[in-house]
Amino acid sequence: MKFVPMSIPDVVLIEPRVFGDARGFFFESWNVRDFAEGGIDAEFVQDSHSRSVKGVLRGLHYQICQPQGKLIRVIAGEIFDVVVDIRKSSSTCGRHVGLRLSAASYQMLWVPPGFAHGFCVLSEFAEILYKQTAYYAPQHERSLLWNDPELAIDWPLAGTPILSEKDKAGLSFRQAEIFP
């Protein structure tokens, strides 16, 4: 596997070694030894799976207590994935990384605890698998406003996204409760 630090170095793009032939393909999506050697020492406690249609935007979510590290992988379709550093102590606090992830690329994204995460669906639909380092705790979940001008995320959207009520009510970065 290849581990590529992004412009915020704690966020890492993982490029697995894919073996393919006329029958299909095979790759390891998680190997504790390889990930530790790549600088990701994570213990996952929960796997989640979502499916969304084109134009859906989910996020930007985080848990203020029980923060979750997430390993993101698209298994069908394509998304624009965004992570925002919300650690006050970080030199990159308030900055974000945005990139396209697709089933066709096999790439995965490591989002460490202390980041807000979201994505929008670019294909007709997309299915995403998440490995998480902490259990989902709805009482601790928070949302940043997806279109906060201060974050200046250039979402590749045609028109207004499809949002949940929770995501419509997200807070601006300045108003949000963030990590020390």
3-state secondary structure the chain: CEEEECCCCCCEEEECCCEEECCEEECCCCCHHHHHHCCCCCCCCEEEEEEEECCEEEEEEEECCCCCCEEEEEEECEEEEEEEECECCCCCCCCEEEEEEECCCCCEEEECCCEEEEEEECCCEEEEEEEECCCCCHHHEEEECCCCCCCCCCCCCCCCCECCHHHHCCECCCCCCCEC
Q: Annotated catalytic, 140?
A: no
The active-site residue, picked from 96, 130, 135, 140, is 130
Q: Annotated catalytic, 62?
A: no
Q: Which residues are catalytically annotated?
A: 61, 130
